[in-house]
C-alpha cells in the first residue's frame, strides 16, 4: 500500500489494472460538478481508485462499488478500510444492475469502462474476466439511470470516437449530456480521451469546457495536471 501524494490517501494497485491517467482525470472531473454528493456509485470499480480519490474531496459521502471480479472487490474493500470510506463493495456483474439495492438514491455514478467492448478476449485472464463484463454505452447509461435520483449525475471517461454512441445511449436513458471535456496529450495533438457528465432528467444544453492538455511543449506536465496529481506538494 502506498500514499498517492504527501498527506494524501493510501492505495494498493489492482494488479490487472494499474493507476491510469483516465481514472485520475475522471475523479477530478466528477468532483468539479455543481453539487456535493451524499451517495456515490462506482460501476466496475477495480481496486476502488475512483472512490478513494473522490472520498478525499467528499469525506462525508457514502461510496458504494461493484465489480465483476471477486479479487477486485476484495481489494476495493481493503482500500476502503485503509482510508476510512463508508459504503458497500459487491462482487457482481454491473450489467445486471437491477439487482443493486437503493435504486434512484445516488447523487453520482462514475464509470471508467473498458473502451473497446465486445471485441476479442485478452490473453491475460484477469483482463479477460474484467472485460468479459465490460459495459457498453447503453449498459452503463441504463445502470446510471436506474441508480441515480432525478438530477443526479453520471460521469464517465471514454474515447472520443464513441461520443455519438454515448450521447445517444445517455439520452435514451433520460440522462442529458451536460458537460464535455476533451483531453489531449499535447496542445497540437488530437484528443485521446473524453470526459462526459450527464444529468438524469436534465434539460438540453451541453457545456463544452476548455480542453485539458497533459504535457507542455517540453514534455513536462502542465500546471493543471500538476494540480490534479498533487505534484510538488510537501
Question: Could you tell me if residue 23 is inside a domain?
Answer: yes
| Residue with the three cell numbers 490534479 | 228
pLDDT in tens, 16-39: 888 989 999 999 999 998 789 999
Question: Could you tell me if residue 234 is inside a domain?
Answer: no
State pTM to two decimals: 0.92
pLDDT in tens, 81-104: 999 999 999 999 999 999 998 999
Looking at the chain, the whole-number percentage of residues with pLDDT higher than 70 is 93
Query: What is the three-class DSSP state of 220?
Result: coil
- What confidence score (pLDDT) does residue 131 get? 45
Ramachandran assignment for 172, one of left (phi > 0), alpha (psi -120 to 50 degrees), beta (any other): alpha
Question: Could you tell me if residue 168 is inside a domain?
Answer: yes
Question: Could you tell me if residue 104 is inside a domain?
Answer: yes
Phi–psi pair at 31, nearest 5 degrees: -70, -15
- For 1, 34, 103, 144, 171, the CA distances from 153, given in Å and listed in that order, are 31, 10, 14, 8, 13
Question: Could you tell me if residue 209 is inside a domain?
Answer: yes
Query: For residue 59, how far is the Cα from the chain centroid?
Result: 17
| Residue with the three cell numbers 449530456 | 177
- pLDDT classification of 199: cutoffs 50, 70, 90: very high
pLDDT in tens, 122-172: 444 454 444 445 789 999 999 999 999 999 999 999 999 999 999 999 999
Report the domain count for the chain.
1
- What confidence score (pLDDT) does residue 128 get? 45
Q: CATH number for the domain including 182?
A: 3.40.50.150
What range does the domain containing 147 cover?
Answer: 2-228
Question: Could you tell me if residue 233 is inside a domain?
Answer: no
- What confidence score (pLDDT) does residue 121 get? 44
- What confidence score (pLDDT) does residue 23 get? 96
CB-side exposure of 71: number of CA atoms within 13 Å?
Answer: 11
Take residue 96 and report the three cell numbers written for it: 445486471
Phi–psi pair at 221, nearest 5 degrees: -60, 140
Residue 158: count of CB within 10 angstroms of its CB: 22
Confidence check: pLDDT of 194 > 90: yes
CB-side exposure of 143: number of CA atoms within 13 Å?
Answer: 29
Question: Could you tell me if residue 10 is inside a domain?
Answer: yes
Take residue 11 and report the three cell numbers written for it: 492505495
Amino acid at each position: 500500500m502506498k500514499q498517492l501524494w504527501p498527506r494524501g490517501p493510501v492505495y494498493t494497485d489492482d494488479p490487472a489494472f494499474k493507476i491510469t491517467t483516465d481514472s485520475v482525470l475522471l475523479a477530478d472531473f466528477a468532483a468539479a460538478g455543481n453539487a456535493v454528493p451524499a451517495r456515490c456509485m462506482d460501476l466496475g470499480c477495480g481496486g476502488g481508485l475512483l472512490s478513494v480519490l473522490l472520498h478525499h474531496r467528499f469525506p462525508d459521502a457514502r461510496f458504494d462499488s461493484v465489480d465483476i471480479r471477486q479479487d477486485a472487490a476484495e481489494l476495493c474493500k481493503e482500500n476502503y478500510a485503509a482510508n476510512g470510506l463508508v459504503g458497500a463493495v459487491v462482487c457482481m456483474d454491473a450489467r445486471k444492475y437491477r439487482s443493486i439495492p437503493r435504486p434512484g438514491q445516488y447523487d453520482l455514478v462514475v464509470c471508467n469502462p473498458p473502451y473497446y467492448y465486445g471485441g476479442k478476449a485478452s490473453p491475460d485472464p484477469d483482463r479477460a474476466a474484467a472485460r468479459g463484463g465490460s459495459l457498453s454505452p447503453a449498459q452503463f447509461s441504463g445502470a446510471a439511470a436506474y441508480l441515480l435520483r432525478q438530477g443526479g449525475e453520471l460521469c464517465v471517461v471514454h474515447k472520443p470516437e464513441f461520443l455519438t454512441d454515448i450521447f445517444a445511449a445517455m439520452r435514451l436513458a433520460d440522462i442529458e449530456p451536460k458537460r464535455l471535456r476533451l483531453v489531449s496529450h499535447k496542445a497540437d495533438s488530437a484528443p485521446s480521451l473524453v470526459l462526459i457528465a450527464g444529468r438524469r432528467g436534465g434539460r438540453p444544453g451541453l457545456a463544452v469546457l476548455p480542453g485539458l492538455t497533459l504535457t507542455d511543449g517540453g514534455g513536462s506536465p502542465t500546471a493543471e495536471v500538476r494540480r490534479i496529481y498533487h505534484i510538488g506538494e510537501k
